Amino acid sequence: MTGFAAAHAEPLVLSGDAWTRGAGQASDAFADPARVRDATIGRVEQARVAGLFDAAARDYLARQREFHLAHDPDGMAELAGIADGFGLPEDDLFTHLHLGTLNDFKSGARLDSDGCSAWAAPDGPDGPIVVKNRDYSGLHKGIQRVTLQSGNDVTTGAMLCVGSLGSPAGYSSGMNAKGLMLADTQVAVRAHRVGWLRYFLMTRILATCGTVGDALDLIASKPHAGGGTLVLADASGDTAVVELSADATGIQRGGIVWRTNHYVLPDHAADTLLPEGDRIAGNSGERFAYLERWLPGLTLDTAHAARLMQTHRDTGPGAAPLCQHGETEASQTLSTSIYSCRLGALTFSQGNPCGGDWQTYRMPS
């Protein structure tokens, strides 16, 4: 990390059972209940006015609720705690997590509020790392939080997560005390089914899995709703990308791995929805190709990862917009997360990484 400065910061500490940790989000001194509502329930209300919730959508959500109550009771307890803590309707919070899926049903697949570029490397000066630029709605700019969570259902000891108030712990990325790191990217897809939604799945992986192999076993044990990818690495240097198709998950394992907002494995690529005129969809391939070009020759440490994720089109010839800027409510890069299990730290940019506002959050030893 020579020549790279990051100030020490403290996460929001949440402990206890899943419900208690969820309700504890509202105890954050910086929590703005109105902002949380706008970023969650407000979006659901907009979707309702737009006619998104037809009979098929309502039936799907009901079956999804039954699935998660049966297979992820801790995740649903956390969501109930969040709802109680902020005084929000739990059903609408559950629906909010499914808005991308419901948009896919309408073939609307708008990614202008959800993008992301993520990659993992098996080794380097800072050991195995997982890196993510979080591209999401500007509504989440004021409610994005780093949390340190522990409880009776967190069998890995603790998890350090980047997410948003009003959503499950592992809503964007995280690392646990066993050294497992993960990040997701959104992919709009043509097919969904009743199954594990990745926002719940990510928290359960961090809470219960110590290695990439453990995570892959958990992923293989249940059907999935479909849509999105997971990028993973662990303390041994094992890495993987999982494309969460509704038909069958696709896995690429070992070495440097990366994803943006489309599927690339032969059996899944055709499942991607990339509507014309969508800004994030339009540059997903460009960002993927840029990572493919630069990652093999990159010094795989925190400092070089940070510089790579600051890239704009004007950075140099052939550069891609890994760091994205937008208006307040449009998609933009809300943060950059660089996890190193060897350092036991998350190096984090609150806002666009080109702004240089870096902080370090440490996993307790």
Distance between first and last Cα of the chain: 20
Inside any domain, residue 2: no
In tens digits, the chain (365 residues) has pLDDT values of 444 778 999 999 999 999 999 999 999 877 889 999 999 999 999 999 988 899 999 999 999 999 999 999 999 999 999 999 999 999 999 999 999 899 888 765 454 455 799 999 999 999 999 999 998 766 667 789 999 999 999 999 999 999 999 999 999 999 999 999 999 999 989 999 999 999 999 999 999 999 999 999 999 999 999 999 999 999 999 999 999 999 889 999 999 999 999 999 999 999 988 755 455 556 899 999 999 999 999 999 999 999 999 999 888 888 898 998 875 455 789 999 999 999 999 999 998 999 988 999 999 98
Residues 6+ apart with CB under 8 A from 155: 207, 208
Could you say which of 76, 105, 134 is where a domain stops?
Answer: 105
Pair 93, 125 in one domain = no
b/e map of 291-319 (b: 16 or more CB within 10 Å)?
beebbeebebbbbbbbebbbbeeebeeee
- Quote the number of domains for the chain: 2
**Which two tokens mark 170?**
């592992």
* Cα–Cα distances in angstroms (integers) from residue 73 to residues 3, 149, 157, 208, in the given order: 45, 17, 19, 14
CATH of the domain at 225: 3.60.60.10
Is residue 321 assigned to a domain?
yes
Q: How many CA atoms lie within 13 A of 264 on its CB side?
A: 16
Assigned domain for 100 exists: yes
Q: Compute CA distances 211 → 162, 259, 293, 362, whole Å.
A: 19, 20, 28, 20
Q: Are residues 137 and 162 in the same domain?
A: yes
Output the pLDDT for position 3. Answer: 47
Residues 247 and 335 in one domain: yes
- Do residue 167 and residue 281 come from a single domain? yes
Single-letter residue type at 298: L
User: Are residues 271 and 229 both part of a single domain?
Assistant: yes
All residues at 6 or more sequence positions from 171 whose CB lies less than 8 Å from its CB, including other chains: 161, 162, 163, 164, 199, 202, 203
The reply to whether 90 and 220 lie within a common domain is no
**Shared domain check, 148 and 134:** yes
Q: Are residues 211 and 99 in the same domain?
A: no
Q: Which domain holds residue 178?
A: 110-362
Count Cβ atoms below 10 Å from residue 365 Cβ, excluding itself. 5
